[in-house]
Amino acid sequence: MKIKSMLLGVVAGAIITTSGSTVAFADTSDKRIALSNNYAGNSWRQAMLESWNNVAFAAVHEGVVDAADAFTTSENQATEQAAQIQNMILQGYDAIVVNAASPTAINGAIKEACDAGITVVSFDGIVTEPCAWRIAVDFKQMGRDQVKYLASRYPEGGNLLEIRGLAGVFVDDEISAGIHEEVANTNFEIVGSVHGDWAQDVAQKAVAGILPSLPEIKAVVTQGGDGYGAAQAFKAADRPMPTIVMGNRRDELQWWLEQKEATGYETTSLSIAPGVSTLAFWVAQQILDGADVPKDLTVPFLRVDQESLEEIVKETPNGSVANVEYSLEDSKKVIQAAK
């Protein structure tokens, strides 16, 4: 598959199957793993949960672990997620995989889990509590790479609109910081900023609300789930269509492909693969199995370019996100590379 070959550090065959390669891990067959997820209100999070179900539930079926339950808080609130984790401690889980609402606000609950002998692995929205493991991409670099791409297209610069993610979340802060750091090295100027919450409908409304006050926009820097909404807002306002950096959602990629075929429209698209949840699952399983795993693991982000667009669109289901899921063997290679 094209997507797997593009994601550096991930080997071919990254989707778990029911073949013998994941069977007979008696050391963890009685272990119970839980996923604590802080938010599920966009296609990336839905794909992330679906990937967890594909891989973790298959591992339960094959006897690798005894349970791999997924829980999502009703609101993106650190207090609610902390209470959720405390409940998992009481339920006696052996490991908790966390996509955190805040890098610091749930550290107390994370420490309680560690003190109770529970392995904690954070991913995407990572935590700073030293006892936890962390799996992340370089989100600042994601922001920088957007601006570097635009600077290569438009060395003369121009006006940028920034669409941010979910306010108060580590990922949003890091991507935005990378964007602003790189803009300082270019001729671009950020003339407007809105929060799109990583959702195309929210982004469309936010962009529509700010457009009347903005000058002509050369390009839009984004965080994922917002590119298609931004395009619709510009179209409805009858404004010149800027270069919009996409975030690997199928609706964004499909719109880009249609514009490419009609007018030669060019852009790029990048995001963390939702299947990082499956890497976090296997990392937790390996720690429970006694493996020596570094506390910090870095995975590359998945990028789509003008040449790979058609094939990626074919591989990405409607309503979903360009993705790759990790097998146990993939995860072992990521762990080994970190050493």
Q: How far, in Å, CA of 237 to CA of 80, rounded?
A: 39
Q: HEC states along 247-267?
A: CCEHHHHHHHHHHHHHHCCCC
Tokens of 70: 């997924």
Contact 297, 339 (CB under 8 A): no
The number of CA neighbours under 13 Å toward the Cβ of 317 is 10
The number of CA neighbours under 13 Å toward the Cβ of 76 is 18
pLDDT of residue 74: 86
Q: HEC states along 109-162?
A: HHHHHHHCCCEEEEECCCCCCCCCEEEECCHHHHHHHHHHHHHHHCCCCEEEEE
pLDDT of residue 75: 83
Which H or E element spans position 220? Answer: strand 219-221
Q: How far, in Å, CA of 47 to CA of 53, rounded?
A: 10
* Rg of the chain over all Cα atoms, to the nearest angstrom: 20
Contacts of 328 (CB under 8 A, 6+ apart): 16, 21, 22, 64, 282, 285, 286
How many CB atoms are located within 10 Å of the residue 123 CB? 28
Complete domains list, the chain, with CATH:
2-137+273-302+323-338 (3.40.50.2300), 139-271 (3.40.50.2300)
List the one residue out of 105, 97, 104 whose CA is nearest residue 80.
Answer: 105
Segment-wise mean pLDDT, segments of 10 residues, the chain, 339 residues: 50 32 63 96 93 96 97 92 98 97 96 98 96 94 97 98 92 96 98 95 97 98 95 98 97 97 97 96 97 94 95 93 95 93
pLDDT of residue 35: 98
Tokens of 284: 């937790």
Tokens of 214: 């903005």
Alpha helices in the chain (DSSP H): 2-6, 43-61, 78-90, 107-115, 139-153, 170-183, 200-210, 227-236, 250-263, 276-288, 309-315, 328-338
Q: Three-state SS for 191? A: strand
The distance in angstroms from the start CA to the end CA of the chain is: 28
pTM over 0.95: no
List the one residue out of 241, 246, 212 whose CA is nearest residue 227.
Answer: 246
Q: How far, in Å, CA of 86 to CA of 311, rounded?
A: 44
pLDDT tens digits for range 118-164: 999 999 999 999 999 999 889 999 999 999 999 999 999 999 999 99
pLDDT of residue 16: 30
